[in-house]
Amino acid sequence: MWKDPLTRWSCPFPYDVLKEVGITPSSTQREVVDVLFTLMERGVVTDEMRKAWDELRLLPRRLRVDFFLYELDRAAEITDARRALESDIETWWNGPLEAQPRAGG
């Protein structure tokens, strides 16, 4: 998953904070809810982690965060970009059709 690079958040982006404890967009909602209790048992909860957890622990709030994430198939994106570039180069090299000389005139 990729975060929209223009995303601005009022605090550090929740998944960026919680990735160090294994919470990702692929984590189940149960894993998200339970992680705080695991961290509390270890005594390693920071204010930043608590705020990030608050953003993800309730499904409607998590969906708002997830809205800024995108699933990208890098190989397909590269293939599509290469085809588009090759087509643009071919069009540029051959010139527009109306620029071709006409037979007999």
Q: For residues 67 and 18, what is the distance between their CA atoms, to the nearest angstrom? A: 17
- pTM here is 0.61
Q: Angle at Cα 4 formed by Cα 48 and Cα 84, nearest 5°?
A: 160
Q: What is the pLDDT of residue 46?
A: 92
d(CA 14, CA 3): 11
Q: What are the structural domain ranges in the chain? A: 2-95
Q: What is the pLDDT of residues 37-73, one digit of tens each?
A: 999 998 999 999 999 999 999 999 999 888 887 776 7
